[in-house]
Structure 1
Amino acid sequence: MVELLKQNLVIEPDIQNFMGFVLLAVKSLGGNQFSATSSCLQIVASLRLAGAGTGLPLPVTLLLEDSQLTVHFGQGVASSVVDLKDSPEAGIVEQLRLHLQQSTEIADPALLLRRNAEMIRHLDETRIRTEKEIEIMQQTLAKRQEELGESIRNAETDPLTGLLNRRAYDERLSTGFQRTLRQRDEVLSLILFDLDFFKQINDEHGHQYGDAYLIKMAQAMLHSIRDGVDHAIRFGGDEFAILLYANKDIACNKAMHVLSQMNNKVSIGIASLSADEPGERDMQNFIHRADVALYEAKRAGRGRVVVDTWHPDGSITWAHFLPDSK
């Protein structure tokens, strides 16, 4: 197999010149020029479909394989030009190859300028098209990310109050608890809330009033915490929680604020974890401490805040905080 000619077809004159060289090769090798002309017309159509003459360089090769003259281009596409009766002599083939090589090396300045201009145009169009495609992709990606974020928020949000739900609570509590254990300057308080006599309120005033009451509770909690730092949660029904990155004194002040906003009709239990008061290093026991403090608040008469204190000997005591009206 001999490579007789290799070119890049950038503009229309390149196609015409290449086909002229192909017909010259057919004549030099003693092929049927009439048959080759018919083949060349089909090859030209195929080359244009492949992008020849559009400003994008399309590599094309003229090969002699035994007694067959073929044109190769694109992704391995091969088109037969003509079948020769006999395999040409090596000297004739080499002479033809050198002639075609020299002919393509003689550059017409005007043709070069036109070819360069077309290539620049094609590159500019490609750049503009690519930038537009990238912009569209970025917009699509941003939209998908927004949709994903919205989906995650919906999966983690209580639909009535807009607070985080139990699923989000489990994840954030686990993360916060582990972080507090790792970092000595970190403090975590778990505040549990239970609306006093909510079922009675709901039964007496109706579900619409009950829903508004739950939303009021959620707003009181949100106004007591730092957005993006602490977390307000509704477990369901009349049970709520706050994960507060602060010590038990601050947690107690926040809880008292919520209590006052709800007309002192909330029972609240608090447990804290810090370097000064490490407490139990097990998350379930930490939750149990807050739960027991809440139970103590309800047992002692409701409408109050109970803060548990862990002692080095493992014992726990509770401090009761009552609103001014009690």
Structure 2
Amino acid sequence: MTESDRLFLDDLASAAQAVETCLEGLLSPVCRVDEIARPDRLLNAMRHGVLNGGKRMRPYLVLESARLCGGDPQAALRIAAALECIHCYSLVHDDLPAMDDDDLRRGKPTVHIAYDEATAILAGDSLLTLAFDIAAAPETPLSGDARASLVCALARAAGIGGMAGGQALDLAAEITPPDEAGIVTLQAMKTGALIRFACEAGALIAGSDQSTRASLRRYGEVIGRAFQIADDLLDITSDAASLGKATGKDEGRGKGTLVGLRGVNWARDELARLVAEAESLLSAFGDRGEKLKAAARFVANRKS
């Protein structure tokens, strides 16, 4: 492990703690202006789905891309928290019996197991709505135009043309397995879209030029692809105890993955290629890009 990799892990842990603290406040029992009440069971289910550990990689990418571009740290923290609410809502809904039907998430009972299906659906709905509340609220210290741009970009990353659409394609893949191009599209939507947003968000927060925004957007696309290939590789080579969730489910449901199609050796070679491309995209930032280079290596080489 290089020094930059060690520093990255320290930064990732520090960012995760900062985001956790922010989310604790946002998910407190205290009502915000115009809220009438926060039902205890629903709030606790939301907290169970969000405040349950995790690496907080997507929030880290928001915070680090904003730092790289000189964006406001408090604005970046709130956008990072909003993105994590979206990500966690998707996990709560993915785990439902109608979707992936999982009992474990990060080594703990999933929300519908800890509570019930109806509460899990409402918890996911509420987290999705809360994300846009956080991003649009005046407490996010950005201009109205900047907040509107971030809300629009996040909506498109999360909706029919992004994550939710990718989940629909994933469900369809259980009936008709897609070809390689279909798998690439599915994964770019279901997994890649939010990671792409996380990286591009820093440039939006900072009001960076189009060239900087395009570089970070492409970097996000590259590591999003690497994240999914690494995930599929772990699904084949790891175990449930290490991952904190069930393994081998895609193969069991007949879903195609690039790793299943091309093989483990191809996957490892492709991950190395993607890391090299990610590092190249950050070369214009000089030493300031080292943390995001380490993030790319971590995404590709992670063990859980």
Does the pair score TM above 0.5? no
Q: Structure 1 or 2: larger helix share?
A: 2
Normalised to the residue count of structure 1, the TM-score between the two structures is 0.25
- Larger gyration radius, structure 1 or structure 2: 1
Normalised to the residue count of structure 2, the TM-score between the two structures is 0.26
Q: Structure 1 or 2: larger strand share?
A: 1
